Amino acid sequence: AHSYGFKIGECPVRNSPRRYGSSKFTTLRYQGLVDLLSLLFIHNYHLSPLHFFAKISAVFVVPSASILTYFVVRHLLAAIGVGGPYMITERPLLSISLTMFLIGINVLLTGFVCDFILHHLVRGRRVSISDPYVARVLGDADADEPARRQ
């Protein structure tokens, strides 16, 4: 509600003691954790989901690309006679790094698809979404009011 410009407040509530039975809510309950994570995602990346997916993709792609570069350089050096014989296909790290690279590319492509869908959904409403945000960043006093342009 706050991200849509509504004012948020608290209201005191009196809790009466339980009359019958025991509480069904345990100390460690995770029912709202996924909802909280989805709200944080929407609040932080609502207009740019590719930024989120690119960060996760970089965690997979950068290490795997550096490992693959090492393997290729080492294999090429062995092919021209520098160093000893080197069989790239016998290394289990090759399979792991290729898998990590493909996972990272898939995550990045998921971000592209999300960005593409969001662009087409929001294209007609771009002024009503971006103007209040820009006004709020620039410190306009009427930033809470939606932009009404002809």
Q: What is d(CA 98, CA 64) in angstroms, rounded to the nearest whole number?
A: 7
Q: What is d(CA 76, CA 82) in angstroms, rounded to the nearest whole number?
A: 9
For the segment 141-149, the average pLDDT, to the nearest whole number, is 50
**What is the tens place of the pLDDT at every residue in 59-112?**
999 999 999 999 888 888 888 888 777 777 778 999 999 999 999 999 999 999
Task: Give the single-character DSSP code of 5.
Answer: T
Q: Which residues contact residue 78 at a Cβ distance below 8 angstroms, ignoring those fewer than 6 apart?
A: 84, 85, 86
- pTM exceeds 0.95, yes or no: no
Q: Give the residue among 97, 122, 118 at the shortest CA–CA distance from 53.
A: 118
